[in-house]
A and B are shown apart, each in its own frame.
Chain A
């Protein structure tokens, strides 16, 4: 890890810059649809970093669940809730305070990271890729009960979302 900049690190920084610039686009774009498109680019950057960390399974889950399902849901909600009669201000009145608070949070986080000594493996050869089989073994043996519970939770939440969004009889 100490022997200069490797190709993996270059790719990591390219992906990180793409991810962070798109994330800034998400929170500053003046158009709601542009913000959603920036969000897709940011998700792709995160998935690429998962690939660099040799966790292909999470990268696939990221692209399938976030990149398709969540983004489609969000685009639908954006189109369903757009008020057409007047242009909307996208930022609240407390914007300077929010920017200052997030910069303070960033300073605190980076200060904590820099001040900590991380005991990582010395050479990159000590970092073994985590195989798909290891993840499957862990999910379906140790974590089987949380896995089932999260499946039940997901179906209940989706039923609840349908109930919330479906029109009542006394509406309209």
Chain B
């Protein structure tokens, strides 16, 4: 098994890459992909803590959390893509900086 801090550092890098995608992309679907990368990093972290700690602490809650995160991410993707498709139909763009109806 790799040491816990190696896994945590790899996940931190993955999280930062996802954050970079969220902050630099302008296509809504690509921003969503980057958010999924960040969610993956977090659930991988939770699984790592659960696997390294369940002998000492006697529970595997982190694994259950990762399971719920994956399920909720599926719901989130479906809903967000529905919104993106609707936005594209109404405003003919999928770029978040061109959807500025509430900005003045």
Q: Note all chain B residues with C-beta closer than 8 A to A167.
A: 89
- Known contacts A12-B6, A91-B24, A158-B75, A146 near B68 by CB under 8 Å: yes
B24 engages A92 (CB within 8 Å): yes
Q: Mark A150-162, 1 if CB is under 8 A from B, else 0.
A: 1001100110111
Would B71 and A65 count as touching, CB distance under 8 A? Answer: yes
**Count of interface residues, chain A, beta-carbon cutoff 8 Å:** 91
Q: Please give the distance in Å from A156's CB to the nearest CB on chain B.
A: 8
Interface string of A62-87 (1 = CB under 8 A from B): 10011001100110111011110000
Residues of A contacting B43 in the complex (Cβ-Cβ under 8 angstroms): 58
On chain B, which size bracket covers the interface? 35 or more
How many angstroms from the CA of A52 to the CA of B9 in the assembled complex? 16
A113 B8 Cβ-Cβ under 8 A: yes
Bound Cα distance from A110 to B13, whole angstroms: 8
Measured between beta carbons, the chain A residues less than 8 angstroms from B7 are 12, 49, 53
Q: A residues within 8 A CB of B20?
A: 27, 98-99, 102-103
Instruction: Please report whether the interface of chain A is mostly helix, strand, loop or mixed according to DSSP.
Output: helix
For residues 72 through 131 of chain A, which have their beta carbon under 8 Å from a beta carbon of chain B?
A: 73-74, 76-78, 80-83, 88-95, 97-99, 101-103, 105-106, 109-110, 113-114, 116, 118, 120-121, 124, 126-128, 130
List, in ascending order, chain A residues with CB within 8 A of B51's CB: 53-55, 127, 130
Contact status A98-B24, CB under 8 Å: yes
- Contact indicator per residue, chain B 61-104, by CB within 8 Å of chain A (1) or not (0): 10110111011111111110111111011001111110000000
Starting from the known contacts A49-B10, A70-B73, A127-B55, 16 additional A-B residue pairs (CB-CB under 8 Å) come to A26-B17, A26-B30, A27-B30, A32-B30, A46-B44, A53-B48, A55-B51, A58-B47, A74-B29, A98-B23, A109-B15, A113-B12, A121-B56, A139-B64, A150-B68, A161-B78
